[in-house]
Amino acid sequence: MLDGDKSATWPWLLLATAIVIAALFKGYPLQPPALRADDPAAAFDAQRAFDRLADILGDEAPHPIDSPANDLVRERLLAQIDSLGFEAEVRDDTSCLSLNRDAHLACGRVRNVLFVAAPDGMPIDNAVMLAAHYDSVPAAAGANDDGVGVAVLLEIAALVDVEQLTRPLVFLFTDGEEVGLLGAASFVRRDPLADAISDVLNVEARGARGPAVMFETASPNAHDVQAYAAYTTRPLASSMMTSVYRTLPNDTDLSEFLRRGYNGLNFAIADRIDVYHSKRDDLASIHMPSLQDIGDKVWASLRGKLALEQVAQENLLFNDILGLTLVVFPAWLGWLGLGLGIIAALWQLSRTRIEISGPALGVALIAPPVLLVAAGGLAFCLQALLGLLRDEAFYWFAHPAPLQVVAYLCALLPMLALLSFWRSDEASYRAAYHSSWLWFGVSGLVAGLMIDGMAVVFVLPLAAYLLAAIAAQLVSRIAVMGHLLASLLLAVFFLELLFLVELMLTLQMIALVSFLAAVAFLPAVLACAQMFGRPSGLGACVLGLALLAAFVGSAFVPAYSEERPGLMSFRHVAEVREDGEIQSYWAVLTRDREPPARVRQATDLDRVPLRQYESEYGLPAPMLSYQEPTVELGSDAGNVEGSLHARFDAPGFQSLRLEFPQAQDLESVVVAGVAYPVQTEKAFTLACHGRACSGMPIEFRFAQPPKECRFEAFRPGLPEAPKSLIALKGKDYDPVQRGDGAVFRRDCTP
């Protein structure tokens, strides 16, 4: 039995160091393998896929929806499809989709490209569809998002033996995804093949490196999960992730396909988010092992779909283990595992009751949740303080390691601090260890009830804990070793979860990162306390100093670099004032609270008092040489009472917006003859993207016509921007999303 006064320093410091290093390198086992030197005949060839994409992207110009550059990309895409021996069709349609709870209607002219692979005479029914979008945002060439998806689909089409297919395949390249899933919406609503589809594999990108993540399925998911598991050799997927993603406001084309009722799997490369929607999303940024990884997984999943017989639809729980295998089991088994794990923890706690006093047992019971809350609370406070010290919105962007260490040490420090003051014996530490598993099981039960699929990351560690408890009952001397092994499995599961959280959310919420890290580490720390004794005060102080050093590093490390730049865009803003005069400025836009010092200190820049740009820096500028965009508004007594007609005239502008600040009485919007119902509490915005917006007939049907509106037009690119302004970006800032451009804005009266 341990002496309550026994303490140790070096074992604890070594353990803390090992834990932090493991957490920093947690994603290493999940990285894609090196590019294959030689591909078997039926294997996905990443180099061949890349070469096709290079031909399609040509000069790598951004190609947003309904732009001349998008026309060229589509022509080269059609040529590639023709070279594979398939006959493609272009579906030309005007499509709209409501976003943000019907407060926003996005519209545009889309040209989806599709072709069918099926043996002669096979009915086109019960088809599997592979989908990716070929448009880009105005600031990016879209090589990863979603050129990689286009390349994957074309390479798979080359691998398919059409005569051996048991089900038809539809290859769909959607347009207008970046402005609101317009191509996918057009397909499910109006395409003649929409009724023939039963399963979809969608390929996306949110970065440029890392493993391919399968992050979304249909619900119920049995058909999707079994197809994915059948042939995928390096799975990276979890029902926890797919269930949480379903609750988020994020959307891809698969969102529209799932709403239509298809089965579906969604794949993405998500590391290196600094490349996402920026000018660096070019062919040079494509990571060939990542391209190979996502191609392998989509190809394997397609083979699984084609081989899978009809299965009973239910929601399965699933999770990979270090990318080596995918564990799949029915939901009822998950609930059983949670229940047995909780019972095992209660049983183990009841056995310690005869060895320790009531107060000591009370401390053991309350310690785990207190430590988890302390970890998250400490990290939250430190990040709030860093937010006051740093002007940058993403101050960890170029160098995330210091902030990661802050999060992990915030998880560990409360544990070592409590244990260093808790002069107890082995029985009390053992009770605290079992208490941590009890709270873990109860948390899994609550999480599973709140979001189906969440229970999976709790069930398998609890199963290991249950087996360890049974083994310890049979052979008492292996009890601590069993505790350590169960704790190790829990750490493996939650470190992978931590990797995915950091991948998808970056480090915006280190309180969540620290909380999850504490969940991963706590049982292992309490198991080690049974062997080492309590940490010394010196050990806790050293850990506190390490946390202080990591905090200081986070406060002073450069936020952005040439390798990982921040966001800076320049806009020429022209706004019509009430007296009819046009006020125009160059404006400097960043995500940060303050632009970098070189911008703030530029002698010719000052704050510009423009609506929506009040806190930005800029300088007065002459008007650019473009035709002023206009919107004509009027009612027609011969049409529906209360209707308001709008017609844009904005040649050369990519995006047009018409906003009604008070639109409670808006009932529907008719675009190109199609009515879209609207429900909005207050404001409503129509956004139209592409050349076809000029002259497109639009009708707003109000119960009571509004009294005011606002019109805005955006044109990408700034060929007339002064060189002194462009030079302020340097090498550590890039435009993203819409990028540099010209904005024209005015109030309007219906």
Distance CA 690, CA 637 (A): 30
Distance CA 275, CA 331 (A): 38
**pLDDT over threshold 50, residue 1:** no
pLDDT at residue 14, as a whole number? 93
| Percentage of residues in the chain having pLDDT higher than 90 | 60
Strands, DSSP E only, in 548-671? 566-576, 582-590, 606-607, 617-620, 630-634, 643-649, 655-660, 666-671
| Percentage of residues in the chain having pLDDT higher than 70 | 95
Strand partners, 668: 677, 701
Element of type H or E holding 230: helix 222-231
Q: How far apart are the first and last CA of the chain?
A: 83
Residue 199 or residue 350, greater confidence? 199
Contact 513, 379 (CB under 8 A): yes
- 490-501 pLDDT tens trace: 998 899 989 988
- 640-656 pLDDT tens trace: 567 888 999 999 999 99
Instruction: Give the pLDDT band (50/70/90) at residue 607.
Output: low
- 271-313 pLDDT tens trace: 988 899 888 999 999 999 999 999 999 999 999 999 998 777 8
- 20-57 pLDDT tens trace: 999 999 999 999 999 998 878 889 999 999 999 999 99
Distance CA 225, CA 310 (A): 13
Strand partners, 8: 535
Instruction: Give the pLDDT band (50/70/90) at residue 66.
Output: very high
Burial 372-395 (b: 16+ CB within 10 A, else e): bebbbebbbebbeebeeebebebb
pLDDT at residue 156, as a whole number? 98
Distance CA 687, CA 712 (A): 9
Q: What own/partner pairs with CB < 8 Å and gap ≥ 24 does 578-584 have?
A: 578/747, 582/623, 583/610, 584/620, 584/621, 584/622, 584/623, 584/624
Strands, DSSP E only, in 508-663? 534-535, 566-576, 582-590, 606-607, 617-620, 630-634, 643-649, 655-660
DSSP 8-state symbol, 599: H
pLDDT at residue 610, as a whole number? 52
The residues near 295 (Cβ < 8 Å, ≥ 6 apart) are 44, 46, 49, 151, 152, 155, 156
Highest mean pLDDT among 221-235, 464-478, 580-594: 221-235
Phi and psi at residue 58, in whole multiples of 5°? 60, -115
pLDDT at residue 309, as a whole number? 82
Distance CA 112, CA 92 (A): 7
- Give the CATH H-level superfamily of domain 44-314: Zn peptidases (3.40.630.10)
Mean local confidence (pLDDT), 151-170: 96
Q: What is the mean pLDDT of the chain?
A: 89
**pLDDT over threshold 90, residue 551:** yes
- 245-254 pLDDT tens trace: 888 778 899 9
Residue 681 or residue 638, greater confidence? 681
Output the six-digit token pair for 731.
């090498």
Output the six-digit token pair for 382.
């430190």
Contact 169, 128 (CB under 8 A): yes
Contact 591, 735 (CB under 8 A): no
Each domain of the chain, given as residue ranges in start order, spans 7-28+331-556, 44-314, 565-750
The answer to whether the Cα torsion of 611, 612, 615, 618 is positive or negative is negative
**pLDDT over threshold 50, residue 744:** yes
DSSP 8-state symbol, 67: S
Bridge pairing between strands 197-205 and 733-734? unpaired
Mean local confidence (pLDDT), 470-480: 75
Contact 423, 534 (CB under 8 A): yes
pLDDT at residue 372, as a whole number? 95
- 683-711 pLDDT tens trace: 899 999 999 999 998 999 888 778 889 99
Highest mean pLDDT among 70-74, 612-616, 742-746: 70-74
**pLDDT over threshold 90, residue 234:** yes
Distance CA 455, CA 459 (A): 6
pLDDT at residue 136, as a whole number? 97
For residue 732, which amino acid is it? D
Mean local confidence (pLDDT), 711-719: 91
Output the six-digit token pair for 175.
């347009």
CA atoms within 13 A on the CB side of 221: 28
* Entry pTM: 0.92
